[in-house]
Structure 1
Amino acid sequence: MGGIDIFLNYFSRSSFITIFVLGWLSIYFVITFTILFSRMAGLSAWQKREQNALESLLMGAKTIPSDSFLKKIISGGISKERLNIGISLVERKSTSGLVWLNIIASTSPFIGLFGTVISILETFSGLGSGQASLNVIAPAISEALVATGTGIFVAIPAYTFSLLIKRKSYELVGILERQADVLISTKDEF
């Protein structure tokens, strides 16, 4: 129960700005993990389907599997231009969510720093009563730094997840490019 008491005590002493900043960072944290879980699950399944389609094409299949994204693209005929458009669409769809992860990764430390600066300013403005000792200042500064630590804590997974999703998207696009190469090289057979 000691951890809950510390938590409640911290919030009872915190200013509106500090609570607002920590709330904002909490929302960012939830968004970060939501994007990770939704995008990685979808991309993994999509990559597996496309890998299976590529393998069937390489094994000599005369038709591309119906669950392949490129099947929709080549329904009007196989051309390099149509395949390139399809690959561009896949790249766009597979990287959705990255903008938010990059925004969160780049702004979280600044939001945390803003909360820290405001808390430090409030601490110093409250010291005008003449009781400016280390015993008064140190705990207040320590509590103010929680916002900066929280900002960094939120930024690290957002940046990491952004790189993971980028890599998964890169792999998916690579598989589709290989599919397109096979389709172009065997165009007369389809």
Structure 2
Amino acid sequence: MLDVFLNYLSRSTFITIFVLTWLSIYFVITLTILISRYLIINSWINNEKKALDILLLGGRISNFPSVLKKYVIGAISQEKINVCLSISEKNSTIGLTWLSIVASTSPFIGLFGTVISILDTFAKMGGGNAGISVIAPAISEALVATGAGIFVAIPAYTFHLLIKRKSYEVMSIIKRSSDLILLNSKS
């Protein structure tokens, strides 16, 4: 397998290698965002659930592990809660822009690599009599870049949706907690 890969790289153009390197970096970024954000948001969800349970049982605001804790010191107001919700939403969606960029651009980057490789193949053929037995393997190798682009785009889009859903979950819990805090502060 390594021999096939090294053989492919030795025949590839600079553009193809550049495209595959770019897509590899995209893939690493995608996995890094997924792992870090997923772990952080899951931990955050657990803390917010505990806080909501404490609030539902009549606990005090100062006794729960929530992001709301630092915003409800002193007088509780809708404006302070709204600021907290806005900051929490921003923090919960970190990384989504990069996942969107990777998901939307990687197929085009792969396609660019394929087009350049095909152009290079036809340029090398010149005016000679090259049959399908010469053209087919070169075109097949050129399509690797498109496949790589799609290979990177699918997980990036999937991870984008997973993180977006987790963000929605944490924001939903925080919103419920803030509603309880405001309700308790009025009574």
Question: What is the CA distance between 1:66 and its match in structure 2?
Answer: 4.5
Offset at residue 46 of structure 1 (A): 0.5
Counterpart check, 1:104 vs 2:105: no
Shift of 1:130: 1.1
How does the TM-score come out when normalised to structure 2?
0.97
Contact 1:53/1:64, CA 8 A, preserved across alignment: no
Q: Deviations over 1:11-47 (max 9, x none)?
A: 0000000000000000000000000000000000011
Structure 1's unaligned 5+ residue stretches are: none
Write the distance in 2 (CA, Å) between the matches of 1:64 and 1:107.
46
Structure 1 residues 28-177: aligned runs within 5 Å = 28-177=26-175
Residue 68 of structure 1, CA deviation: 1.0
Deviation for aligned residue 1:75? 1.0
Q: How much does 1:76 deviate?
A: 3.1
Partner AA of 2:98 in structure 1: W
Q: Which amino acid aligns with 1:94?
A: S
Deviation at 1:129, TM superposition (A): 4.3
1-structure distance, mates of 2:155, 2:126: 40
Task: Give the conservation status (yes or no) of the 8 Å contact 1:112–1:148.
Answer: yes
Per the alignment, in what secondary structure is the counterpart of residue 72 of structure 1?
Answer: helix
Structure 2 residues not aligned, in runs of 5+: none
1:63 Cα deviation after fit: 2.9
Instruction: For 2:19, give the aligned amino acid.
Output: V
| Contact 1:25/1:154, CA 8 A, preserved across alignment | yes
CA drift of 1:84 comes to 1.1
Aligned partner of residue 75 in structure 1, secondary structure: coil
Q: Percent identity?
A: 60
What is the aligned length? 187
